[in-house]
Amino acid sequence: MSPALVIGGSMGMMLTMRNDPLNDVAMSEPEEASKMREFSLEEVKSSKRKILVIYKNDVFDITSFVNAHPGGKDKIMLAKGSFVEPYWSYYPQHTNNKYVVDSVLKPMKIGTLKESDRDSAPPAPNPYVSDPVRSHSLRIITPTPCNAETTSEGLENWLTDSDDFYVRNHGPVPLASEKDSWSINLFSSPLKVSEIKSLAKSGKLSEISVTATMQCGGNRRGYYRKKANGTQWGHGAISNARWKGVRVRDLMEHLDVKEEGKWLNALSEDGTLVSIPRHKVEDVNGDVILAYEMNGEDIPRDHGYPVRLVVPGYVGVRNVKWVKKVWFGEEVSSMWQTGLAYKILPTDVDSKKVEKVDLSKYKGMMEMPVTSVIRKAVVGKDGVLRCEGFAWSGGGRGIHRVDISVDGGSSWHCVDLKEGKDQPPHKAWAWTFWEAEVDVKDVNVEEVVVKAVDVAGNSQPSEGKDIWNVRGLGNNSWHYKRIDREDDWDNSRFG
Ligand SMILES: Nc1nc2c(c(=O)[nH]1)N[C@H]1C(S)=C(S)[C@@H](COP(=O)(O)O)O[C@H]1N2
Ligand SMILES: [Mo]
């Protein structure tokens, strides 16, 4: 009999004993010592039918437990076939927890590790092990690093729920272990988040709230007909939240900052380094803040806990999360700015030609162009098309008008602007929602298309091909949506 079958046989018994592992483990007895056997590390690693892990050189079969793992199956599966210690170092609640070790783990023991394999160097843990568990309401495009977009349901709320807010990470989410002890090097002065908060709460600095829509430079990249490399976002890499914090310009005044330099640089714990122009920071109407609250609560880890830079009206990437250091410099800082990633190159520059391009000729993206999206389009039994969506423009430029067409752009209907329309026209950091009703009884329509005009008179190009760029940035071409029909099945026919 193969070793796998022996394990399978003995575990079959254990499985019937323990069909609700979380509740029953404490009651079931550990297997008798006589049934225990030795395993080689290789055997633990390559076990296919059973999920085995090692803790303190003992081997455990956790097959029946993974679905009941309070931290989620995904997390526990990271340790499959290896030592749990490196993973538990991220989650100290396991290591010194008698319940976890004695009541949960011990009953799953099936043997020990072969003498010669003991204490072999535990493999490096997956760096994403401590990433937060994401809400099911997000559409995960890549799990590690997490790129997840807001779905149509999430986009229905003018203020996006923090759980629904799109996530765009370039690496693992840093751990901020102790609340508020996070310290930032602000213009060479070390300042704790807790100190910034108490300065604000005591009135020494003014605490402000900014409702700002954030959009990734690559939002709608996936809609370019010609594929551009990068996360294939639909239209959900955009969300709107209420951020609370203190203006960076007020912190500068408080700290009596004398540093020169045209660019404000911000460096994150995860290595992200970006620059924004000094004038945006110094402008009292620029509303650049160090934020510590999102939608009335501590910022969730995915969105920058405990502190992030919020740069309203600027492309997503300039809103640095997990800020560690802020200072002024004469030149833009890193490849995040000087490199290709956030430069809109000419349409004829494809992935081959790009190697020969002098990137220094082009500026990095800051504000974003006006865009609009149809979230929902339904024709009712009454022959009326009801349509809704959002429009937004970078730089605080408010939305002047939104038009929809049911004939592919030959004629246009002006829609009603809703939430967001009363923002100051040149400080409209948040998006504007819109709704429309069009009588389509006499037309056979399948598709509706939208375009918006901002207060500067900018509008959207009809097609993506004219603005395509090798990084797939800034796709603000007209947005098309297929029309749904309300169920017109008439039950009375069977009456
Ligand atoms: N430190 C850090 N800041 C970051 C990022 C990151 O990966 N690390 N991603 C940037 C990008 S590209 C975007 S679009 C926004 C996304 O913010 P969100 O995840 O809160 O939606 O954060 C920006 N700030
Ligand atoms: Mo982004």
- Distance CA(66)–CA(207), nearest Å, equals 45
CA gyration radius, the chain: 28
Instruction: Please provide the size of the chain in residues.
Output: 495
Asked whether the beta carbons of 448 and 481 are under 8 A apart, the reply is: yes
Please give the pLDDT value at position 240: 98
Could you tell me where the beta strands, DSSP code E, fall in 315-422? 323-329, 371-379, 384-392, 399-405, 413-414, 416-417
Is 400 assigned a catalytic role? Answer: no
- Distance CA(308)–CA(292), nearest Å, equals 7
- Distance CA(379)–CA(483), nearest Å, equals 7
Q: Using the atom order of ligand 1, give the atom closest to the CA of residue 270.
A: 1
Residue 353 vs residues 231, 335, 358, 368: alpha-carbon distances, Å: 21, 19, 11, 25
Alpha-carbon dihedral of residues 98, 104, 106, 111, nearest 10 degrees?
Answer: -140
Is 94 assigned a catalytic role? Answer: yes
- Distance CA(147)–CA(166), nearest Å, equals 8
Q: How far is the CA of 9 from the centre of ligand 2 (A)?
A: 51
The tokens describing 28, both together, are: 């079931």
Q: How far is the CA of 318 from the centre of ligand 1 (A)?
A: 8
Q: Using the atom order of ligand 1, give the atom closest to the CA of residue 217.
A: 14
Q: How far is the CA of 491 from the centre of ligand 1 (A)?
A: 51
Among 108, 113, 115, 93, residue whose Cα is nearest residue 44 = 113
Q: How far is the CA of 269 from the centre of ligand 2 (A)?
A: 17
Does residue 306 have a cis bond before it (omega within 30 degrees)? yes
Q: How far is the CA of 317 from the centre of ligand 2 (A)?
A: 5
Bridge partners of residue 212, in order along the sequence: 241
Is 375 assigned a catalytic role? Answer: no
- Contacts for 315 with CB less than 8 Å, ≥ 6 apart: 215, 216, 217, 342, 365, 366, 367, 368, 394
- The percent of the chain in helix, strand and coil, each rounded to the nearest 5, is 25, 30, 50
Note the ligand closest to the C-alpha atom of 317.
Answer: 1
Residue of 18, 146, 168, 221 marked catalytic: 168
Q: What is the DSSP letter of 197?
A: H
User: Residue with the nearest Cα to atom 1 of ligand 1?
Assistant: 321
- Contacts for 263 with CB less than 8 Å, ≥ 6 apart: 275, 276, 277, 278, 328, 329, 330, 331, 332, 333
The tokens describing 140, both together, are: 């995960």
- Distance CA(318)–CA(322), nearest Å, equals 12
User: Residue with the nearest Cα to atom 16 of ligand 1?
Assistant: 168
Is 168 assigned a catalytic role? Answer: yes
Helices and strands per DSSP (H, E), number in the chain: 11, 26
Asked whether the beta carbons of 278 and 285 are under 8 A apart, the reply is: no
Q: How far, in whole angstroms, is CA 19 from its chain's centroid?
A: 36
Report residues whose beta carbon is within 6 angstroms of any ligand 1 atom.
165-170, 214, 216, 268, 270, 272, 302-303, 316-317, 319-322
What structural domains does the chain harbor?
5-117 (3.10.120.10), 139-346 (3.90.420.10), 371-491 (2.60.40.650)
- Distance CA(437)–CA(90), nearest Å, equals 53
Mutate to test the pocket of ligand 1, among 164, 170, 297 (most ligand atoms within 8 A of CB): 170
Averaged pLDDT, groups of 10, the chain, 495 residues long:
31 32 37 76 94 94 86 81 81 71 92 90 75 95 94 97 97 79 95 95 96 98 93 97 98 97 94 94 98 98 97 97 96 75 91 88 94 96 95 98 97 97 98 97 92 98 96 97 76 41
User: Residue with the nearest Cα to atom 21 of ligand 1?
Assistant: 167
pTM: 0.78
Mutate to test the pocket of ligand 1, among 146, 182, 272 (most ligand atoms within 8 A of CB): 272
Is 216 assigned a catalytic role? Answer: yes
- Contacts for 358 with CB less than 8 Å, ≥ 6 apart: none
Q: How far is the CA of 445 from the centre of ligand 1 (A)?
A: 39
- Contacts for 181 with CB less than 8 Å, ≥ 6 apart: 192, 193, 194
